Amino acid sequence: MNSVQIEDKNFELFLENDQINKRTRLIGIQLNVDYEDRCPIIIGVLNGSFVFMADLLKEIEISCEIAFIRVSSYKDTESTGIIKEAFGLPDNLHNRDIILVEDIVDTGLTLKYILEKVRLQAPASVKVCSLLLKPDALLAPVPELEYIGFEIPNEFVVGYGLDYNGLGRNLKDIYSAVN
């Protein structure tokens, strides 16, 4: 499909699943190298990261633990800047290597909030892996953002775990909103 409609918005094809899979494979290879002989806790940020994280985990061959945190700051297509934590971090992060997996980093406010919570437990290291990054929307640098699938323009995207009002997460490709 080259375009989709979700509720009142039209979207056109932006990133095909094949491109996403190739980039995910490369990130997985890099994580295998960077965390060789270590056992990181890989924490997915729900709901958006679940598709990317599932595919990423298929590429990771090192020992690792899996956990999830659920936070939200979106209403319609805009970040509200107000973080609502639905369920939180595991409490065993002390002296562990942590990899946070995000679907998208735009303003970075949600990520800043999560990183502050993670640091309270004094982990050995913290890195962030995000499928998408909107550099033009970023309000402050995120030094922990080590693994990036794609840098994209500041446009609203849907599919491959990303949603519009809860819809569209199941699309295998990523689509960009048409104004």
148 and 138 in contact (C-beta within 8 Å)? no
Strand, coil or helix: 23: helix
pLDDT band with cut points at 50, 70 and 90 for residue 90: confident
The answer, yes or no, to whether residue 73 has pLDDT greater than 80, is no
Q: Report CA-CA distances (Å) from 57 to 29, 113, 121.
A: 11, 24, 24
Confidence at residue 123, expressed as pLDDT on a 0 to 100 scale: 97
176 and 128 in contact (C-beta within 8 Å)? no
d(CA 25, CA 57): 10
d(CA 97, CA 12): 38
Six token digits for residue 91: 């409490």
pLDDT digits (tens, 9 = 90+) for 164-176: 999 999 999 999 9
The answer, yes or no, to whether residue 84 has pLDDT greater than 80, is no
Angle between helices 50-57 and 17-34 (to 10 degrees): 60
Confidence at residue 66, expressed as pLDDT on a 0 to 100 scale: 95
Confidence at residue 72, expressed as pLDDT on a 0 to 100 scale: 66
DSSP code, position 144? T
**Active site annotation includes 106:** yes
12 and 176 in contact (C-beta within 8 Å)? yes
Confidence at residue 95, expressed as pLDDT on a 0 to 100 scale: 97
The residue written with tokens 């659920």 in the block is: 70
Of the residues 55, 97, 103, 106, only one is catalytic, namely 106
pLDDT digits (tens, 9 = 90+) for 17-59: 999 999 999 999 999 999 999 999 999 999 899 999 999 999 9
pLDDT digits (tens, 9 = 90+) for 117-170: 899 999 999 999 999 999 999 998 899 999 999 999 999 999 999 999 999 999
165 closest CA partner among 5, 49, 6, 56? 6
Q: What is the pTM of this model?
A: 0.91
**More confident call, 71 vs 9:** 9
- Output the DSSP codes for 106-123: SS-HHHHHHHHHHHTT--
> Please, what are the domains in the chain?
3-178 (3.40.50.2020)
Sign of the C-alpha dihedral computed for residues 19, 25, 29 and 34 taken in this order: positive
